[in-house]
Structure 1
């Protein structure tokens, strides 16, 4: 671990596109009971059955929140109505406000791990968001002055007129009990429910026209690129543009970043509720990148749009490792990826082709970095300096680790895996996490950075 941390100090990363403010509420029984009383048991049950895929009014939120609490699974649902947005501010007092969005979380993490240079880009940069980036000399925002790229600290680059996106995050704890009418519900796992703001002004995933021509030189000065935020793209916009327009722009960005050198690009995939949009993102973006990170639910979503409905349903219903391995093989091949990284509560997995230059042992070490960083963040709430990771190294692997390893070996024995390198490690699991927000992003960033570090060490990148 310390060897990786030393190498990180010689590495640089470019991150784009999504940054926001996370307004966090630590849910307790009183919060939940108050919401049930306010909206009524029968109304909530009816709306749960309707399963709203976006939040247009507060009842949509309450129904999806209760559903998330029953399953104990992390969920994110888009908020699309400004009136509902105002309701949240009048209804809740936030326990914590901090930087969010994959770019925000990963930028602060990498900067605090003493990466040589972290260049973080977002189309919008309001003062409140700029304030939440760590104030370090290695965390920079790209600006253009006299037709040249100038890297500045975010607080020196923000724009007063830029709006600030706020996502509300409701953290829940395993074991929380409440009643929905006659039904007693005990939350099975700790997790979070994200009310993801999806207003049009925040849904334009693109690089500014001034910066765009300079992407080749940015790609040339970094060791890796992490892109995220495609879940924010909308089907249609009020000015007549549509998802196809922004996806074309996104594809141009990737090609420009790779123009001077074939820099490795990782996409951190997040849940896209709309099936058609999900399909567009998968077919347009994935074939251009090298690495993708996702959880098991997102594998199922992607398999569904690729036409593997039965396998998708099996992953959702049974959550078996053999189905996840089979699904991962399909995604790797159909989307022409170099490597696929999967993070779940109990295990992390890499799948790549047999000709990958890293050994299975090295790939396992890379995953170890991801789970150690995530365990550190879960225990401390944040990672402020490289020495913090010693905390993560002392957190044990989860109690299902041996069972998971056994099932993984059984799964590999049953199916054709000779053409692949597939590795799995149990996660280090914090029983009572300070926070679960950003753990998947932390795993993916740590795994991707250490993957690049190993490629550099082997002199194949």
Structure 2
């Protein structure tokens, strides 16, 4: 039997090897790219607003996190207060007019690439993959936010890949306002003091009918050709649920999106498709959309907070409640397995602070040890992002070679094994040593990850983990196949 110190050495060896990964794959990202307006909250900012506008706390909504869209500063402050209190992330939609008030009261801000497609495209380019992106609306401001190496599909008689910075097609820019807060800051909302239990953020995005979350009709007929030129597509934005003028109802949007995904894979059946979860405002609509679209994907990414909402919407209220009451690797594993079976997706990657839980449904075409190594590579990438922000260059990843995996992750792995054993599942020393538990119809992985205290930024961490892990998995699997 290997003691705890020996296991740490073993996992450190896994990490050292994982960090040498090279992304030798062709990556595509769609649809949502935007410019993030990042506001790093501090106590003085909130105190200043309270002094100038004390009435802002009057008559708050009963359920601030359910307001959609956020239209007033009172709704916003109630939402911010609620999210800071519990330390959880939140994504919502706002009336663009609220941005004028933000400009008046939050003077310290910065701008960066935002949106799953934008963040993933830049990160993949920085790591050396052949990276491309598609977003129907591309202003000069948006285009300038992309890495110069990112490509864009131009349609002539066929598909021609050109630099995204040369692909401007509109003047409107989608803005997402990101309100970040660090752990341990005490904010005073009127007479109530709240100390943030962990670092996190609140995201409010603007919307415009131009920003359709789908392929333009001009490119749709060329999707089979496009699919032949890529190895993996990371897709997000389906939570919008409609395209004005083309798919006004959810049923029409599902049909349009399904047809496009099938076209994309039609001449490349081995094409991998990853769906990164973003919540929809209506749980019934979300269930209908995901039950229809998710089976077309080979991978699905989600975090520990989002899975509770998804499970409840899919009818697994008890699992959602268990995670809420006692969030741990084993409860998240049960939730991820339920999602995999319900949505018929072969790979679920759940990213959490300090560890990842992955479910692979059999038959899965990649060795689970490769999946684990890819997750460790993603953890290293994400840790560097937490330290320095932005897209992480490949040459910076090796600075994590001696940065230990988190105590949280190692403890969660040990407790996962203990709980699994108590239920008669095949868990033991081998699972502690590898992070992999094999069952009849699936594998379960618990992979310790890094924790960086007081990260420079939390925006895009889930997207970074999901894309880095899956692209690394595809690259490592291809290398192993060539070697055999």
Q: TM-score, normalised by structure 1?
A: 0.91
Partner of 1:154: 164
Partner of 2:263: 256
Conserved? CA contact 2:90–2:203, under 8 Å: yes
Conserved? CA contact 1:22–1:169, under 8 Å: yes
Partner of 1:130: 143
Q: 1:412 and 1:432, CA in 2 relative to 1: closer, same or farther beyond 3 A?
A: same
Partner of 2:395: 387
Q: 1:456 and 1:45, CA in 2 relative to 1: closer, same or farther beyond 3 A?
A: farther
Question: Displacement of 1:347 after TM fit?
Answer: 1.2
In the aligned structure 2, how far is the partner of 1:270 from the partner of 1:368? 24
Q: Superposition pairs for residues 146-295 of structure 1, below 5 Å?
A: 147-159=157-169, 161-202=170-211, 204-234=212-242, 237=244, 241-262=248-269, 263-295=271-303
Conserved? CA contact 2:23–2:472, under 8 Å: no
In the aligned structure 2, how far is the partner of 1:49 from the partner of 1:40? 20
- 1:338 counterpart = 2:374: no
Gaps of at least 5 residues in structure 1 are: none
Cα deviation per residue 1:100-155 (whole Å; 9 max; x = unaligned)? 1011111111111111x21100011111000000112xx1011112x221111112
Give the counterpart of 1:347 among 355, 363, 369: 355
Partner of 1:65: 80
The SS at the match of 1:279 is: helix
The SS at the match of 2:228 is: helix
The SS at the match of 1:293 is: strand
Partner of 1:118: 131
Question: Displacement of 1:188 after TM fit?
Answer: 0.8
Q: 1:41 and 1:407, CA in 2 relative to 1: closer, same or farther beyond 3 A?
A: farther
The SS at the match of 1:133 is: coil
Q: 1:240 and 1:109, CA in 2 relative to 1: closer, same or farther beyond 3 A?
A: closer
Question: Displacement of 1:237 after TM fit?
Answer: 4.8
Question: Displacement of 1:187 after TM fit?
Answer: 0.7
In the aligned structure 1, how far is the partner of 2:296 from the partner of 2:32? 19
In the aligned structure 1, how far is the partner of 2:26 from the partner of 2:17? 16
In the aligned structure 1, how far is the partner of 2:226 from the partner of 2:405? 38
- 1:34 counterpart = 2:23: no
In the aligned structure 2, how far is the partner of 1:180 from the partner of 1:228? 35
Conserved? CA contact 2:329–2:357, under 8 Å: no
Question: Displacement of 1:20 after TM fit?
Answer: 0.2
Conserved? CA contact 1:14–1:218, under 8 Å: no
- 1:89 counterpart = 2:103: yes
The SS at the match of 1:47 is: coil
Conserved? CA contact 1:332–1:340, under 8 Å: yes
In the aligned structure 2, how far is the partner of 1:401 from the partner of 1:193? 25
Conserved? CA contact 1:39–1:59, under 8 Å: no
In the aligned structure 1, how far is the partner of 2:292 from the partner of 2:54? 43
Partner of 1:407: 415
Give the counterpart of 1:317 among 325, 336, 343: 325
In the aligned structure 1, how far is the partner of 2:145 from the partner of 2:408? 37
Conserved? CA contact 1:375–1:428, under 8 Å: yes
Question: Displacement of 1:4 after TM fit?
Answer: 6.8
Question: Displacement of 1:230 after TM fit?
Answer: 1.6
Bigger drift between 386-395 and 238-247 goes to: 238-247
Work out the number of aligned pairs and report it: 453
Give the counterpart of 1:76 among 91, 94, 97: 91
The SS at the match of 2:360 is: strand
Give the counterpart of 2:308 among 264, 286, 300: 300
Question: Displacement of 1:247 after TM fit?
Answer: 2.3
Give the counterpart of 1:23 among 37, 40, 43: 37
- 1:457 counterpart = 2:466: no
Partner of 2:445: 423
Q: 1:383 and 1:15, CA in 2 relative to 1: closer, same or farther beyond 3 A?
A: closer
In the aligned structure 1, how far is the partner of 2:17 from the partner of 2:407? 28
Question: Displacement of 1:233 after TM fit?
Answer: 2.9
Bigger drift between 305-314 and 117-126 goes to: 305-314
Q: 1:336 and 1:48, CA in 2 relative to 1: closer, same or farther beyond 3 A?
A: same
Q: TM-score, normalised by structure 2?
A: 0.87
In the aligned structure 2, how far is the partner of 1:44 from the partner of 1:346? 38
- Which of structures 1 and 2 has the larger relative contact order (alpha carbons within 8 angstroms, sep 6+)? 2
Question: Displacement of 1:379 after TM fit?
Answer: 0.6
Question: Displacement of 1:50 after TM fit?
Answer: 5.2
In the aligned structure 1, how far is the partner of 2:58 from the partner of 2:185? 19
Q: 1:39 and 1:389, CA in 2 relative to 1: closer, same or farther beyond 3 A?
A: same
In the aligned structure 2, how far is the partner of 1:337 from the partner of 1:252? 18
Partner of 1:437: 459
In the aligned structure 2, how far is the partner of 1:155 from the partner of 1:96? 21
